Structure 1
Amino acid sequence: AGYRNLGLTKFRLDITSLGDSASRAAHREVLVKYISKLDLDEATRARVELNPLRLFDDKREAVVKMMAGAPLLIDYLTPQSASHFEKVKKYLDRLSIRYAINPRMVRGLDYYTGTAFEFVHELLGAQSGLGGGGRYDGLMESLGGQNLSGIGFGLGIDRTLLACEAEGIDLTSQSRPDLYVIPLGEEAKDFSIKFIDDLRKNGAIVDCAYGDRALKGAMKGADKSGAKFAIVIGDSEISSGIGELKNMETGVTSSVTLSAINAKSFN
């Protein structure tokens, strides 16, 4: 949704499964045998010894041709890993999220397990990844923590900007914030998290005063953000359900019911 909100259209979601430890062990055995027959330079051979999967990510034409017939990890998934991946695809289908299965995808970090994903833009050439991530089991334990699963992702801001440029999208013309929220106190911060999230889901562009800035400094932040309106939320506003919505251009304020504010309130 974030890429679409920027106006990008020429990107896709690639997914794969890197399986569990048993899946990777079975695949590694046949992959190493396959790679041992390839004519690789010493540097590449050394890299393969650390993680043979990395060879799938080698963009050199000669290596790509050599790896064309390599065994794929997705074909060696254990029943448990295969079932988990089928569930992931089912949920994506249920949410009408389009995706492509890319069994040759290799994430840049070796601790990924199970589902991995990447957003790819068709106009960026070899460096086409906009962002990606996946699941990693055992990482925390290997660092001395509990045996817990984790998920994570990273987004390339520079790549995203290049994609916008490639599609002719002028980000400088993007709309300014509709509303700048200024929460005063811990309770107001908790309230504002849901308040802002609901407005964003409703289509509004909302910014917020982060940290513990005083009201005067926060209002300067609202003015600097270019927001159309600003609202201060404190204990009294939460208890009464009513706040003062300030038009940042005219300085005029009007009393509004917080629960009634939506994207149309800022037109």
Structure 2
Amino acid sequence: MTKSKASKTRNRIDALRAVIDKECTAPTCQESGACRHEGEKDAARHMLGRLLEKLKDAAGGEREERAQMWAEIYERGYDAHGSTYRQGAKHRAGQSMKERAAGIRADIKMARRVGQTPLVQEGPGLVSQALETYRFDPIGEAPAQIKFRVRIGAGYGSIDIGVDNIPQEWGWTAEEVADHKGGKITRWRRTQALKDLEAELKSIGEAYNADHGSNIMTDCFAQAFFVFVESDDPGTLAWRAEYERKRRDRRA
């Protein structure tokens, strides 16, 4: 990584620490005695921990990095009956689904905010050859036009993270395949960049999750909730737009 590039950027870690360490001077917070910016500081602490952990293992392979990421997100294991248990780093007993969804939104917002400046430091210790190609922050570095939705699923049993406005050339590759009649159809496949983005969103959601004793051998599932990451390919978007057009025409 060239020094000229480094000299034009701020350090993401410094930016996160600035958010964490900044003393709140808002009159409303001082009068109430409770800082309304604590959620933002908590999101910054969470992201700083993820970035530092990834930075430490940046030279490792993709498989090792992914395993380390999940090990950090979950404290997991098995009990004497073979049932799994796990607890996310940000899971809190008694936390409502609204609070979990709000925390996930705050984490995504913080990642987007910090992602505006590359993770670079001119001094020794953080800059290495591995940093040039390593994907530190798929959320922050995703195209600016992408929008995120965080919603509580039906029945309050899941949290759905939606990814909208994905640039076609960035998120999808088209593949022509034969259908069952011998004709040609287009199959859309996710690019590695979109896969990384969805995996990072999944990890943020799962950090609020916990499993209190699931066992697939007995069909017992005791997760606090499920996390789904949703993104529609260009074919699905085109079909949905056509469906809505026909529905409007029928109503006219």
| TM-score range for the pair, normalised by the shorter chain length | under 0.3
TM-score (norm 2): 0.23
Q: Determine which structure has more spread, i.e. the larger CA radius of gyration.
A: 1
Tell me: higher relative CO, structure 1 or 2? Use CA pairs within 8 A at least 6 residues apart. Answer: 2
TM-score (norm 1): 0.22
